Structure 1
């Protein structure tokens, strides 16, 4: 694909100005679009048919020629941009020079649960974009059937969340249900057991029955699950063998999802 970089979009081009505004949630809602940056995210968006537009600098077009070429085959609009325009679009200190615009890709909790999932991550009131993206990525890696952000969580379509998910946002169904009670009710109605981690959990992780359909409740980074622990069917503890006081959210989620995936895989092959 030949791009005309002599007439590339600048930081003052209306299309670039409007795209840069998509780092704000209100602008994303109004435009019905969100912006992503970087090789993994843009590649996933293009390959899954989620991207409508790509913005790329001359140097990035050379580095990521395979993505730009694929975008052309997928009828994605590819726009050459200047390096200054790339800095205007980016929310990082060093930009990759590769961006994409996508319509919202979020599912509803009901649609995820209609597929009779066996393993679902339920981050509750997750506030840190990096953690939210990592939970999506980990859930994807462990073969979970979906991620349902419950409560007033960070926007899963925010650029920092998408970047931390490393493309997984486009691989695994992700939903946002602001009413926590409704989310838990839907999970129960779908026949899933609700499991929470707790330092004083009654069941050791190794002894928990993880072979049945399971929804893991992962608490807020600062406050955990609080009283919401009581909504869980099982409260498990992760044994800590060393001197660390506790595990952070991402580490605990990785361990729990891995154990669930392993237990369910053994059941499927027995």
Structure 2
């Protein structure tokens, strides 16, 4: 078949998903690149359509095996992909966030007002790697379906439950109702991450704040305990995703020990 051009109606409609309002209205988003497409294909019913260039379809034949693929030309792919150098394959996917009540288990992370898509995606990836049972994007957090968030998760968004909750305090209440101890990560905490195994061994929800201003005092006050990560050098603070990785792995070590 002749590859579809950028002027094709289907391509134009898919390209509109670059806007959050359109994604929200249609409950559809674009998974960009072979890792994301492979992850999406692992979720039954997630993928609605796959677009690929002829070169992309050939390069990622193992990922696309037995899948129906719509071929597009390079210009059309450039419009569909958020990458500077498109890999040549994207998938049109249905939303996959879960209800807040579905985020249960021994290790959860609540991100409150996280604005950077790279940070949000990296936290999801770290939570997945640490064996967490879910992530909650709360408050005015970045859109889960922002292409940069999806890309930064490196596929983890497709096999780790993620909930979206507008009210951070509701997320904290839900975690407590599920029997989780809520630990707020804050540089002014009274507990030290390195000596807090009595806390870390419990089923836990880590509460992480905004990249620039951290956790609001009123939200931090809803936690069961505030935990700080010791800084031994001269750095003022840690990047959000780095702090989340340290906290999640400290909990994973304690819980699995």
Interval containing the TM-score (normalised by the shorter chain) = over 0.9
Tell me what 1:56 maps to: 52
C-alpha distance after superposition, 1:41-96 (max 9, x if no partner):
111111233212110001111111111114x2xxxx41001001001112222111
Tell me what 1:261 maps to: 252
Stretches of structure 1 lacking an aligned partner (at least 5 in a row): none
Scaled by the length of structure 1, the TM-score of the pair is 0.91
Tell me what 2:26 maps to: 31
CA distance in 1, matches of 2:164, 2:206: 15
1:217 aligned onto 2:217: no
1:125 aligned onto 2:113: yes
Which of 44, 51, 54 is residue 39 of structure 2 equivalent to? 44
The 4+ residue runs of structure 1 with deviation greater than 3 A are none
Tell me what 2:82 maps to: 91
CA distance in 2, matches of 1:95, 1:235: 43
1:13 aligned onto 2:8: yes
1:1-270 equivalent positions in 2, closer than 5 A: 4=1, 7-49=2-44, 50-70=46-66, 72=67, 77-113=68-104, 117-208=105-196, 209-227=199-217, 228-266=219-257
Scaled by the length of structure 2, the TM-score of the pair is 0.95
C-alpha distance after superposition, 1:215-235 (max 9, x if no partner):
001100111102121111111
CA distance in 1, matches of 2:174, 2:227: 22
Which one has the bigger helix percentage? 1
CA distance in 1, matches of 2:214, 2:231: 18
Stretch deviating more after TM superposition (44-53 or 188-197): 44-53
Deviation at 1:237, TM superposition (A): 1.3
Deviation at 1:30, TM superposition (A): 2.3
CA distance in 2, matches of 1:68, 1:88: 21
Deviation at 1:154, TM superposition (A): 0.9
CA distance in 2, matches of 1:255, 1:188: 22
CA RMSD of superposed structures (Å): 1.1
Check the 8 A contact 2:169/2:222 in 1, yes or no. no
SS in 2 for 1:235: strand
